[in-house]
Structures are given as C-alpha cells and as structure tokens.
C-alpha cells in the first residue's frame, strides 16, 4: 500500500506502511500530519492509518493515540491565547517591531511573495490542463502563507516571542492548516480568474474594510489592556484572529488552495 502524508503545508510520499511506521517512530511525522491512500474518502490522521493496518501504533515512550473525531477535519488558522503577556515585549513590538520584525521578515517575504505569485500563475495552467495542482508548487505557496500568518500574529501582539524564519508552520503558538483538494473543476478555476473580482473580491473586500477598521480599534484597546494588566481579553484576541482567519480563507480560495467559497465570517 502506498500512503501519502500531508504536513507542514506540503504533501509527501508515497511511502510504504513500513517506511511510514519508521518515520513515525523517529518523530519525523508531525502530530497533526494527515494521511491518505487509495480507498480512503479523504485525509485522516496518520496514527489512524497506522492503527488500522496493524493494531495500536507503538512509538518510543508508549502508544500513539488516534486524534478525536472533531480534530480530524480541523483546518484553518489558529493562534494560541496565552495566559499572560510580556509588557516589555509589547512595548518593543509597538514601537520598534517594524525594525526588528517587519524589516527582517518583510524583505525575504517580498521575494517569497513574488515567487508565490509566479507559482500560482504556473499552477493555473497546470490545473487547467491536468485538473491538479502540482504538489511542490502547492507546498511552497502554503508555506509562504504560513510564514506571513506567523509574522502578522506577532506584529498584531497576539503572541509573545520572536517569529521564526522559514516556510511552513514553525513554533507552537501560530498554526495554519491548509488541506487543498486533490482535483479541481476547470470551469470553477476559470470563473475565479476572470470573474473572481466580481463575486469574491468585491463582496468580501467591502465587508473586510469595516472588519479591518474594527480590528484596528480592538487592537489599540487591547494594547493598553495588556500594557496595564498583562492579560489579553480572550474575546478581543479571537476577534483579531478571526479577521486574520477570514483573510487567510479568502487567500486560499483565490490562490486555488481551496474549492470552498470563503464564508463571510472569521469563526473557526
């Protein structure tokens, strides 16, 4: 049996079950990695595939448990709400973040963004002729988006610490999971390219203008609350993350990483 896995925003494989078991034992498969093989209706946790093939999955230190049902379809942008926030880091980001975060990350992300645009352009024709998004290009585009989300969460004061450089999910506080479709409708792709501005950008852009203004106000208020209390109100935190999540879904749809029309909501 040949198994594909999806982790870090990219598809890998195929692997034999023995090879996959070895990678799992060597901790080279992420805990939230997904797997698929012929006969499955969709992507499922790697542990579930291994368990179904040979009973409980043993790894160093014990048995790997299968993720609960509700987490199997977990996808989207998630930013951890910390129990406490550093006032010093908040002030540093607020006044100097553009110097030590914005510039160092912004420069490589500018080039990564240009490369991502080129990959999307190539992917458009690949999908048009084959109905599939090339795995390598897809993984790169997703990795750039994950890097951007990590930096945005830091500059938005949603997490403490310095955002790590590099493509894909890095660290534990910010996680973006994109599970793109295996096949595409060529008609839908053409509609997105030629009329996406009409049925995607205009309605969502109009809503996001007001959502963005509200997010700016909430971020400013939250800044002073964190400054005086060291606590980020959970509701405010989730509202700001929701705005980011909304924008991420919109980007995924326009970059052919999803076939689902983005909802007018920032909820998970």
Q: Is 59 exposed, middle or buried (0-12, 13-18, 19+ CB in 10 A)?
A: middle
Confidence grade of residue 73 (pLDDT, cut at 50, 70, 90): very low
What does the pLDDT read at residue 57?
A: 35
CATH 3.30.1490 occupies which residues in the chain? 3-72
Confidence grade of residue 68 (pLDDT, cut at 50, 70, 90): very low
What does the pLDDT read at residue 9?
A: 64
CA nearest neighbour of 52 among 12, 10, 1: 1
CA dist., res. 47 & res. 63, Å (int): 10
CA dist., res. 199 & res. 177, Å (int): 25
Tell me the per-residue pLDDT of 46-65, one tens digit each, with 9 for 90 and over: 888 877 654 333 333 333 33
Which whole number is the average pLDDT over 73-85?
84
What does the pLDDT read at residue 31?
A: 65
Indicate the pTM of the whole model. 0.74
Judged by DSSP in three states, 174 sits in strand
Count of CA atoms in the C-beta half-sphere (13 A) of 236: 19
Fold of the domain spanning 3-72: Dna Ligase; domain 1 (3.30.1490)
Which whole number is the average pLDDT over 205-218?
97
CA nearest neighbour of 262 among 182, 185, 178, 152: 178
């Amino acid at each position: 049996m040949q198994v594909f896995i999806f982790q870090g925003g990219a598809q890998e494989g195929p692997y034999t079950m023995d090879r996959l078991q070895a990678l799992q034992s060597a901790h080279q498969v992420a805990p939230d990695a997904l797997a698929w093989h012929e006969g499955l209706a969709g992507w499922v946790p790697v542990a579930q595939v291994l368990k179904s093939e040979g009973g409980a999955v043993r790894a160093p230190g014990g048995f790997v448990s299968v993720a609960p049902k509700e987490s199997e379809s977990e996808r989207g942008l998630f930013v951890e709400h910390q129990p406490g926030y550093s006032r010093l880091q908040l002030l540093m980001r607020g006044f100097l973040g553009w110097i030590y975060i914005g510039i160092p990350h912004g420069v490589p992300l500018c080039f990564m963004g240009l490369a991502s645009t080129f990959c999307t352009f190539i992917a458009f024709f690949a999908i048009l002729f084959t109905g599939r998004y090339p795995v390598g290009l897809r993984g790169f585009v997703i990795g750039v988006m994950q890097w951007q989300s990590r930096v945005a969460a830091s500059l938005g004061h949603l997490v403490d610490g310095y955002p790590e450089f590099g493509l894909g999910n890095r660290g534990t506080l910010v996680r973006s999971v994109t599970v793109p479709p295996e096949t595409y409708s060529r008609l839908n792709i053409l509609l997105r390219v030629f009329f996406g501005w009409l049925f995607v950008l205009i309605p969502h852009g109009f809503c996001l203008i007001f959502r963005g203004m509200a997010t700016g106000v909430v971020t400013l208020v939250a800044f002073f609350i964190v400054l005086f209390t060291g606590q980020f109100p959970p509701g405010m935190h989730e509202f700001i993350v929701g705005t980011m999540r909304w924008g991420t879904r919109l980007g995924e749809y326009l970059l052919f990483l999803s076939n689902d029309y983005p909802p007018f909501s920032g909820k998970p």
